[in-house]
């Protein structure tokens, strides 16, 4: 047998810990999304009630500005919502990448242990092939690590770009349209 019961148990522990970490990240993301969308719903209801309140108090000039002002305010809220949603997705994606890499490392540990035992119990001719296999596996693990780092950096860059777009939209002042000029001429 190439793998000891202790190594098998340790591998299972690593796999369960990786799965637990991933599950925790997904649950936290779900909670954050629930809070985000509940807050956005409350904000939308509050903004809508403000518009209706203006109409109820006889501010009919607000009626002519309603579509434009509502659209501008809504676009700002939507960009902030998108920014926060992308942040949650980005963080969850990073955890997914790191969890997958950790799981591959746990599997590689078992393979390395098996290769080491095989080298000790094999003729010297097969040691060359097993060492080549170990080198290939180490190279693949280093490549995976590099790809994981690049993927996490790419997610961070995408988060920053969405955040900058959101900030740009939020910084634009909400301009209320001018009411059309009324003519004061009287028809005789």
pLDDT, residue 183, reads 46
Closest CA to 104 of 151, 149, 140, 155: 140
Number of H helices, E strands in the chain: 3, 0
Tell me the two tokens of residue 77.
């809220």
157-170 residue pLDDT tens: 988 888 888 788 77
Distance CA 15, CA 22 (A): 11
Q: What pLDDT, on the 0 to 100 scale, is given for residue 108?
A: 87
Assign 29 a pLDDT band (cuts: 50, 70, 90).
very high
CA distance 58 to 41: 26
* pLDDT at 62 (0 to 100): 57
List pLDDT tens digits, range 42-89.
Answer: 888 887 777 677 666 666 665 566 566 666 677 778 888 888 998 999
**According to the model, what pLDDT value does residue 61 have?**
63
Distance from C-alpha of 48 to C-alpha of 55, rounded to nearest angstrom: 11
Contact in structure between 90 and 159 (CB atoms under 8 Å) = yes
Tokens found for residue 63? 């009626």
Q: What is the mean pLDDT of residues 96-106?
A: 90
pLDDT at res. 94: 92
pLDDT 10s digits, 118-157? 888 888 888 888 888 889 989 988 998 899 899 999 999 9
């Amino acid at each position: 047998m190439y793998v000891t019961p202790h190594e098998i148990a340790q591998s299972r522990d690593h796999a369960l810990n990786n799965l637990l970490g991933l599950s925790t990240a997904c649950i936290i993301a779900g909670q954050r999304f629930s809070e985000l969308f509940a807050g956005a719903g409350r904000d939308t209801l509050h903004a809508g009630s403000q518009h209706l309140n203006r109409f109820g108090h006889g501010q009919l000039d607000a009626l002519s500005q309603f579509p434009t002002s509502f659209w501008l305010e809504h676009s700002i809220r939507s960009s902030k919502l998108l920014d926060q949603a992308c942040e949650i997705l980005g963080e969850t994606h990073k955890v997914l990448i790191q969890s997958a890499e950790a799981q591959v490392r746990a599997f590689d540990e078992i393979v390395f242990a098996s290769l080491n035992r095989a080298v000790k119990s094999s003729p010297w001719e097969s040691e060359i092939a097993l060492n080549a296999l170990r080198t290939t596996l180490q190279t693949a693990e280093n490549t995976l690590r590099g790809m994981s780092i690049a993927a996490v950096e790419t997610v961070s860059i995408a988060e920053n770009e969405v955040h900058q777009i959101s900030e740009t939209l939020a910084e634009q002042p909400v301009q209320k349209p001018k009411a059309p000029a009324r003519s004061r001429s009287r028809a005789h």
